[in-house]
Amino acid sequence: MANKPHLAAEDSFKKDAPLSRLHVAYKHSYTSDAFLDAAKNAPLDIDTKSGMLAVEAAVAIVINGIHYAVLMASPYQLEYLAIGFLYSEGLIQHSHELLDWDITQLTDDESYQDFTPDSFIQNSSNKDSLNSNLTDELISLDQLSEQLQDYDIYVVELVLNQRCHQRIQAQKRQLAGRTGCGMCGITGLTQALPDLSKYQINKPLLSRAMPSLDDLLSIQAQINVAQHTHQLTGAVHAAATLYEQQLYLFEDVGRHNALDKLIGWQLHHKAEVDYVLMTSRLSIELVQKSIRSRIPWLIGMSAPTSTAVRVAERYGLGLAGFLRDNRVTYYAGYADS
């Protein structure tokens, strides 16, 4: 891999990787008046329409040659996603612990085999000579060709320093991470329910950094304008912050991926932010990531879960939700609480 000690401002795949694709769909609908008469066999309108759909790519994270995890994510800002993911996993503490990186898109059988353990691929001509139980676990080249037609696949190869290597072995995940899941593949309760006391946020800092409703409505308006992929597809989340009066926005089909991208950017640029705004609900993995990153406030456009609020209160994270129209609801970290 080429030596790349610094990340570019824009992801190298952003210009080339498709973030959305055009698909034909069929819209069934009633007129508003006809809907009331649907039981009386009102006419159904069927329109053929074309729409943009968000690309959901399989992103394999390979660390020091170890296949660590597979994330379903939007295929851009992958450098930031990798750094944020490693930090959220506890594998790195600083971005300089990442010594090198490279990103490859797998486009054919040959490129796929280069990144797949040999024990999981077989030549279909040898299938009859294999034990039947073993055959069930193998992927034939014919099957592989069919699967590649359905998926966008990227491999992010990372090289961490020697100090981080044992952490990789101890925390290797067992499953692919689904788009909506920030904890898929975790096999131990200590990983899913970590002690975050060393990341506890200082309460005086939390009070000073409390964002006002005016500030939040201002950044929400900026996000609505800047969230281009969501405007096209209606299917991606965003994590955003203001830093030095400039909006930094990270979109992804997975809300936890969007936050990891922001965290990766934050680590790389050593940026201290006052708050992060998510366009999604606030679930526990988002709270855990924010606490690890010492983000004072996490705000969502939808509701938090009860577990998210309880953990935020324990570790000093400010939490607010239902940012919409002309209102916001503070759940933890409120100055008068």
- Contact yes or no for 321/299 (Cβ under 8 A): yes
pLDDT of 38: 56
Q: Residue 19's Cα: distance from chain center in Å? A: 14
Return the exposure string of 275-285: e unless at least 16 CB atoms fall within 10 Å of the residue's CB, then b.
bbbbbbbbbbb
| pLDDT tens per residue, range 274-292 | 999 999 999 999 999 999 9
pLDDT of 8: 35
CA-based nearest residue to 279, from 319, 324, 244: 324
- Contact yes or no for 99/195 (Cβ under 8 A): no
pLDDT of 180: 52
Catalytic choice (121, 181, 183, 193): 181
Q: Which residues of the chain have pLDDT under 70?
A: 1-16, 32-41, 113, 115-142, 144-145, 147, 170-194, 202-208, 335-337
pLDDT of 184: 52
Active site residue 181: yes
pTM of the model: 0.81
Strands 66-73 and 98-106, how do they pair?
A: unpaired
The DSSP bridge partners found for residue 307 are: none
pLDDT of 310: 95
